[in-house]
Amino acid sequence: MRQYSSVANDATPTNIDADILPVLEYWQQGCKGQFAPTWQDFRLEELPPRLIPQCAVVDVIDDGDDFCYRFWGTDREVLQGRDMTGKSVRELCPSDLTDLVWEEYAEILKRRNPIWFEITAHIDDSHEFQFQYLRMPLRGDGQNIDRIFGICRNRYSPRELESTFPIT
């Protein structure tokens, strides 16, 4: 059985992967004095094109009772074996990943700031791998978080992960 462990740290320019630092900087510029940018001010097409396939955006449903994918990058589709756009986090594969992702989204709602998650996936006694997520809140017109943006960074290509980390 897989096991996951996650460490959450406030995302800063000094503790996140340099490749995705432009995403954090873009998010910070969009805040305009607020705790987070609005969805209208955070435009995926303005991110470095090479990073967009690694991104996802969830809609926050009923203050966190559910999270539904609004955008699902193509690199993520390779990992999941399907497009998760329009689907609940509860439909992620493998199913044991759902709890971890849910907790990370709940942590964003609680802290209301960008978080750098460092995750270790223990596949079995001899296989584990590490990956990281930058997750950041996006607000509606007021002070509510109504979307969460995420980008995954890992040292494996989607094809390598597909062969070493089966989704079933």
Give the mean model confidence (pLDDT) for residues 130-141.
92
Q: Has residue 20 got a pLDDT over 80?
A: yes
pLDDT the model gives residue 1 = 60
CATH number of the structural domain spanning residue 40 = 3.30.450.20
pLDDT the model gives residue 125 = 74
Output the average pLDDT for the chain: 89
Q: Give residue 5's pLDDT band: very low, low, confident or very high (50, 70, 90).
A: confident
What's the domain range around 41?
3-164
CA atoms within 13 A on the CB side of 62: 3
Q: Give residue 134's pLDDT band: very low, low, confident or very high (50, 70, 90).
A: very high
State pLDDT tens for residues 94-104: 777 888 999 99
Number of domains into which the chain is organized: 1
Q: What are the C-alpha distances in Å from 110 to residues 6, 40, 63, 115, 150?
A: 16, 22, 11, 11, 16
Q: Give residue 162's pLDDT band: very low, low, confident or very high (50, 70, 90).
A: low
State pLDDT tens for residues 35-79: 999 999 999 999 999 999 999 999 999 999 999 999 999 988 877
Residue 40 CB partners (closer than 8 Å, separation 6+): none
42 near 151, Cβ under 8 Å? no
